[in-house]
Amino acid sequence: MFNPKSLNAEEFINHQEILDTLDYAEKNKNNIELIEQILEKAKPRKTERGVECSGLSHREASVLLACENKEMIEKMYNLAKEIKQAFYGNRIVMFAPLYLSNYCVNKCVYCPYHIQNKEIPRKKLTQDEVRQEVIALQDMGHKRLAIESGEDPVNNPIEYILDCIKTIYSIKHKNGEIRRVNVNIAATTVENYRKLKDAGIGTYILFQETYHKETYEKLHPAGPKHNYNYHTEAMDRAMEGGIDDVGLGVLFGLDLYKYEFAGLLMHAEHLEAVHGVGPHTISVPRVKRASDIDPNVFDNSIDDDTFAKIIACIRIAVPYTGMIISTRENEECRNKALALGVSQISGGSRTSVGGYAGYSAEERPHDTEQFDVSDQRSLDEVVKWLMELGYIPSFCTACYREGRTGDRFMSLCKTGQIQNCCHPNALMTLQEYLEDYAAPDTKTIGEDLIIREMENVSNPKVKEIAKNNLENIKNGKRDFRF
Ligand code: SAM
């Protein structure tokens, strides 16, 4: 039985409800009147508290995703852009992945870290190597990391992950520091989530891979990850352990995208129903080529147009949730995704264990790599590109450190208020980046952008503080943190 409030995965991601949803969506995919109504419902509205959006249920959003009418799809894209602008403005949050260990006891058939892959060298960073990687990432200009690891209770126990987090936060190299560590490790216990919370992590990210239970069990034939319910209920345990920012995601290509989309939204509805706060982020990875992995064997791969439509529909359905796209995607695809709703991207990424320290921007070690990276530009190239497209690359982590997480973040975001502090903070962190790390032409473009964007800061008090801070940053003062 479908029950979003249940703590049982098979009730909140109910297979029959997904089938009924897909059937309803298919029957209504050309129902222009209904589609118009759904789009109208999802529009941002001005209220006394600011701008608000209602979002959509998984059924409503599935109708949008199924729609094949060109005019309606155009309307959908325009609405997605409007919602993105209302809640995220033109800021794009920057981050990089840091791979700690590729030891893994699972058998995920799409992942090169699977235990039977004898081709891939196994590597786990020592604390000294973590230090070197973090210094290299700080020297690029990163302030926010997502740590990644295979699942192996012997080689990568929770104590190892906690040690790495401690090391990462402890390193202050020149003006660099990592201010937010997000964590993408396998589903674990409430007790371990509590330990991660105490270690000061930002978002706990766990991709569902596929919401389809039967497919899930086939694709994870052995190892702890085989247990669909344990994996799907992980976010509830994370929240019970005190982590209130959680990141969902589906690995597109494994099962039918319409099924995954409905499941993803049902998961978001479940978190909201049970914990009063939806997912902080949603990631949209697609299966990539990797050691021992041929993406063509997964016959549910989606083309770029469908991918764009999924992104727009997520943006409309869950307007307050950040959306992440990684360097799995190339420049052109990322460009489209940014316009339609993505709010966070990685830059200069290495998906190998120990891929940063000792390598130039052009060199990339492939031996321990998790997947082939399509966007191979350096962080500085990505920052420059974003600014040329009119975006503000943001290195801000202030919300997290000011305690604006979970429902506190959401209530600010829901009324559009997050813009009042995010916009100036983004500009200040960009100024830090320009002073400390940017190439000369990136710096010139960035400084012009900051001058223009400061005109859009309407609150005189905020403007005064921001101006002072920008001046201080230019004069080398770093006695504040964003
Ligand atoms: N071991 C953790 C887990 O099981 O959730 C962390 C996961 S892994 C380091 C991060 C993500 O990479 C996975 O959740 C999966 O979705 C994705 N991934 C694995 N193989 C991939 C591939 N061949 N192409 C693209 N993404 C892949």
Give residue 467's pLDDT. 93
- Ranges of the chain whose pLDDT falls below 50: none
Please give the helix or strand (H or E) that residue 131 lies within, else none: helix 127-140
Q: Which two tokens stand for residue 259?
A: 């099924």
132 to each of 125, 172, 182, how far by Cα in Å?
Answer: 10, 12, 19
Ligand 1 centroid – CA 382 distance (Å): 23
Task: Say yes or no: 218 and 302 in one domain.
Answer: yes
**Distance between CA atoms of residues 141 and 107, nearest Å:** 36
> 45 has which bridge partners?
52
pTM: 0.97
Ligand 1 touching residue 225 (CB < 6 A): yes
Ligand 1 centroid – CA 320 distance (Å): 25
Q: Which two tokens stand for residue 100?
A: 């700690």
Write the CATH number for 218.
3.20.20.70
Ligand 1 touching residue 253 (CB < 6 A): no
Q: Provide CB contacts within 8 A for 93, sequence distance 6+.
A: 144, 322, 343, 344, 345, 394, 395, 396
Residue owning tokens 């070690």:
365
Is residue 470, in this structure, part of any structural domain at all?
yes
Task: Say yes or no: 373 and 424 in one domain.
Answer: no
Give residue 416's pLDDT. 55
**Distance between CA atoms of residues 218 and 322, nearest Å:** 30
For the beta carbon of residue 448, count every other beta carbon within 10 angstroms.
11
Task: Say yes or no: 260 and 186 in one domain.
Answer: yes
Task: Say yes or no: 92 and 213 in one domain.
Answer: yes
Nearest CA to ligand 1 atom 3: 186
Ligand 1 touching residue 88 (CB < 6 A): no
Closest atom, ligand 1, to C-alpha of 328 = 25
Nearest CA to ligand 1 atom 6: 185
Task: Say yes or no: 421 and 318 in one domain.
Answer: no
Task: Say yes or no: 368 and 424 in one domain.
Answer: no
Task: Say yes or no: 364 and 234 in one domain.
Answer: yes
Please give the helix or strand (H or E) that residue 478 lies within, else none: none
Q: β-strand 344-346 against 322-325: which pairing, if any?
A: parallel
Is residue 382, in this structure, part of any structural domain at all?
no
What DSSP assignment string belongs to 212-261?
-HHHHHHHS-SSGGG-HHHHHTHHHHHHHTT---EEEEB-BTSS-HHHHH
Q: Where among 377, 404, 435 does a domain terminate? A: 377
140: Cα separation from own chain's centroid: 20
**Distance between CA atoms of residues 410 and 415, nearest Å:** 9
Ligand 1 centroid – CA 304 distance (Å): 20
Give residue 49's pLDDT. 77
Give residue 305's pLDDT. 97
Is residue 409, in this structure, part of any structural domain at all?
no
Give residue 480's pLDDT. 64
Ligand 1 touching residue 371 (CB < 6 A): yes
Task: Say yes or no: 314 and 370 in one domain.
Answer: yes
Q: Nearest-5° angle of CA 189, CA 185, CA 326?
A: 145
Count of structural domains, the chain = 2
Ligand 1 centroid – CA 184 distance (Å): 9
Task: Say yes or no: 283 and 426 in one domain.
Answer: no
| 374 secondary structure, DSSP code | S
Ligand 1 centroid – CA 207 distance (Å): 8
Ligand 1 centroid – CA 436 distance (Å): 33
Q: Where among 321, 354, 377 does a domain terminate? A: 377
**Distance between CA atoms of residues 343 and 82, nearest Å:** 13
* Closest among 374, 353, 375 to 365, alpha carbons compared: 353
Ligand 1 centroid – CA 178 distance (Å): 23
Task: Say yes or no: 358 and 452 in one domain.
Answer: no
Site to substitute for ligand 1 among 124, 183, 251, most atoms within 8 A of C-beta: 251
| Coil, strand or helix at 68 | coil
Task: Say yes or no: 423 and 356 in one domain.
Answer: no
Nearest CA to ligand 1 atom 5: 186
Ligand 1 centroid – CA 298 distance (Å): 15
Nearest CA to ligand 1 atom 1: 150
Nearest CA to ligand 1 atom 11: 207
Is residue 63, in this structure, part of any structural domain at all?
no
**Distance between CA atoms of residues 290 and 253, nearest Å:** 14
- Structural domain of residue 118, as residue ranges? 86-377
Residues 315 and 340 sit within 8 Å (Cβ to Cβ): yes
Q: Which two tokens stand for residue 236?
A: 């509830």
Task: Say yes or no: 219 and 314 in one domain.
Answer: yes
Q: Provide CB contacts within 8 A for 296, sequence distance 6+.
A: none
Closest atom, ligand 1, to C-alpha of 106 = 4
Give residue 360's pLDDT. 86
Is residue 71, in this structure, part of any structural domain at all?
no
Closest atom, ligand 1, to C-alpha of 372 = 24
146: Cα separation from own chain's centroid: 9
